[in-house]
Amino acid sequence: MPTGPQANLDADTVADFGREWARFDQSQVSEAELAQMFESYFAIFPWRDLPPGAEGFDAGCGSGRWAGLVAPRVGILHCVDASAAALAVASDRLAGAGNVTLHLASLDAMPLADASQDFGYSLGVLHHLPDTEAGLAACARKLKPGAPFLAYIYYAFDNRPAWFRALWRLSDGLRRLLAPAPFRVKSLVADVIAALVYWPLARAARLIEALGGKPDALPLAAYRKRSFYVMRNDALDRFGTRLERRFTARQIEAMMREAGLTDIRFSPTAPFWCAVGRRGPIRTVEPIPS
């Protein structure tokens, strides 16, 4: 795995995610909750268009929680991650999946031939790279023409009002202060945030919905059906990550098109932004006659 200055990764961010997945290995998430989260990401993925025995990749597999649900639907699944600690967790989780291969590599060094894959996906990873655009392009290069690619990239709250974006700026200030702290410290603080912020707001949204209201516009309303374990995990992910970039839907679409993806569609529901596109025709450069 490349770890030098040319690798498209931040070593501290990779190390923190390894520690995060070791702490939150998803063993306490129920199958029903995991399936609900999986469906929220993959709702727009064109499963029916995959060929029999499809071969594809999970770019930044982390704990392997999504790979565990993708593997039974496909022929071969390559799980790629830059963290050896994360792959150790994924290895345990996917031990019974005989069609899964784990690869320790950054996304710009995936050991897969270009134009070889029938599908790919990368959820919650590309926005943690120093060069998100290059990471997306590296994924797209592995796809066959017409193959779908699903990406979840942090949104820039472009579909939210000004007050919502102002709240995010305050929270991002806290992230910048907390993220460089020792892992144990930021884990503890993230647990406190989950207990004092995530849980009350999520349960308030759940109550509003039970009373017939529509809480989707409220902060953290998407967690109204999530367990406290998931809230703790996501609070650490949100406030403990050193490198984070955010993009509008228009910027994500532009990056996807630049990477050679076409037929781009965005999910209209949370989490934002989930988008799927297809690898367009592969451009070939004709040699200049001598």
**Are 96 and 72 spatial neighbours (Cβ–Cβ below 8 Å)?**
no
> What would the two tokens of residue 67 be?
């790979």
Output the CATH code of domain 11-156+246-279. Answer: 3.40.50.150
State the pLDDT at residue 3: 46
Show the tokens assigned to 51: 């060929």
| pLDDT, tens only, 141-200 | 999 999 999 999 999 999 999 999 999 999 999 999 999 999 999 999 999 999 999 999
Structural tokens at position 55: 């071969």
Residue 1's pLDDT is 44
- The answer to whether the peptide bond before residue 271 is cis (omega within 30 degrees of 0) is yes
pLDDT tens per residue, range 8-32: 999 999 999 999 999 999 999 999 9
This prediction has a pTM of 0.94
Q: Do you know the residue count of the chain? A: 290
Taking 3-state DSSP, the helix, strand and coil percentages for the chain, each rounded to the nearest 5, stand at 45, 15, 40
Are the C-beta atoms of 72 and 53 separated by less than 8 Å? no
**What is the full DSSP assignment across 121-164?**
EEES-GGGSS-HHHHHHHHHHTBPTT-EEEEE--B-STTS-HHH
Sketch the domain layout of the chain as residue ranges.
Answer: 11-156+246-279, 162-239
Residue 77: strand, helix, or coil: strand
Tell me the pLDDT band of 7, cut-offs 50, 70 and 90. confident
Say whether pLDDT at 282 is over 90: no
